[in-house]
Homo-oligomer: A and B are copies of this chain.
Amino acid sequence: MGELRYFAVNDIEDRNINIYGRLGRVRQPLPLLFNGSAVEIRVSGSDLWIEVETDNDFHEPWVAYELNGALMGRQMLLPGKHRICLFRNMDPAGIKTVKFYRELQAMSEDEKCKVLVHGFELNGEFHEVRKLTRRLEFIGDSITSGEGSYGAVTDTDWLAMYMSASVNYAVMTAKELDADYHILSQGGWGVFCGWDNDPRHNIPKVYEKVCGLVTGPLSKELGMDEPYDFTSWQPDAIVVNLGTNDITSFSQPPLVNPEDGKTYKMRRNEDGSLNREDELKVENAAVNFLKMLRKNNPKAHLAWCYGMLGCDLNLTITEAIAKYKEETGDTNVSFFQLPNTTMETFGAHMHPGKKSHENATAALTAYLREKLNW
């Protein structure tokens, strides 16, 4: 076995590395900004290490790594620099594919939370990775952040360790379809407001920044608050899995927004149906979000895929899509209902478990395969 040599991420030739997930101007060290954000290489040699730097306050990042497509390890990383062995004592001649990725979503509630990949140490050679020409973008909430995909059914704390990309319909669907992917999701957020009526927690307002979910000094340092360069990566389809928190807000108590001191509440009528005025707020937000997606992704198929935690917002979302189509004449948009999570398929704190993510993956894979003619 030869000696280990160090390569910074930007020392690695483009053809020898795959990077998953949105990037801004900072690429060295390579920030893994979202869950599923990853670096993937193919190497010979017996041993491989990765150099990672992390920080956080309340919500520590978790990471996972795959060898030849199979999950090998998953662990918490506490603040500091880490040198993690990804494999050792393997047949030096064999070429191994290794993917290292962030399990935890971009963390809007932890300004310090970061995962930076500095580089690799190996005693072999880099080989060409398989470049994926298909591209999918997933936009969502806790479901797309894999919340509850780890943890016991009885667990109800809201913690980083329960979220994942390793057990996640978005990553699994991309894998099935052999597609590159971007994920942008945040637990508790909606297309118009958060589960608790918080009007600030809507995905559209952050969509056009590199990673607008995070604020503060780190965000500045890494360029997360800068406009995202959509020309750098155009998806074939965008899967929007939003609405679950918007519908929940109709059943939650009012919320006082500390920023403006006002009270916010999505209302229901006496018969339980949605107050039309408030329903229209969601619809308008959805219409505008579709326009925003189209503006930035001229050719992408827009597929609103919803239903893993109930489908009560079906008619609201589809009415929004109808309005969008009518206002824009754009027909490259669709609605697809994902399979609901049942008592048999729940994970932790009443969120989709592994089996539910597998069911969603099967349905969505078949749908996209036909829709995109893949």
* Interface-facing stretch out of A203-211, A257-265, A318-326: A318-326
Q: Which of B68, B151, B370 is within 8 Å of A152, CB to CB?
A: B68
Complexed CA–CA distance, A325 and B90 (Å): 46
* Interface-facing stretch out of A136-144, A155-163, A171-179, A214-222: A155-163
Q: Which residues of B contact A150 (CB under 8 A)?
A: 70-72
What mask results when residues 77 to 92 of chain A are scored 1 for a CB within 8 Å of chain B, else 0?
A: 0100000010111110
Q: How many residues of A contact B (CB 8 A)?
A: 58
A161/B314 contact (C-beta < 8 A), A67-B155, A271-B331 known: no
Q: Which residues of B contact A334 (CB under 8 A)?
A: 314-315
Quick check: A315 and B311 within 8 Å, CB to CB?
no
Quick check: B315 and A322 within 8 Å, CB to CB?
yes
* Interface-facing stretch out of A7-15, A225-233, A336-344: A336-344
A111 within 8 A of B: no
A26 within 8 A of B: no
Complexed CA–CA distance, A68 and B87 (Å): 29
Interface residues of A in 277-328 (CB under 8 A from B): 307, 310-311, 314-315, 318-319, 321-322, 325
Quick check: B366 and A342 within 8 Å, CB to CB?
yes
Q: Which of B155, B314, B319 is within 8 Å of A319, CB to CB?
A: B319
A43 within 8 A of B: no
Quick check: B340 and A367 within 8 Å, CB to CB?
yes
A contact set with B: CB distance below 8 Å? 58-60, 62, 67-76, 78, 85, 87-91, 94, 150-152, 154-155, 157, 159, 161, 269, 271, 273-274, 307, 310-311, 314-315, 318-319, 321-322, 325, 331, 333-337, 339-340, 342, 348, 363, 366-367, 370
Ordered nearest first, which 10 A-B pairs have the shortest CB separation? A318-B318, A337-B337, A68-B152, A273-B331, A70-B152, A319-B322, A75-B75, A73-B75, A314-B335, A70-B151
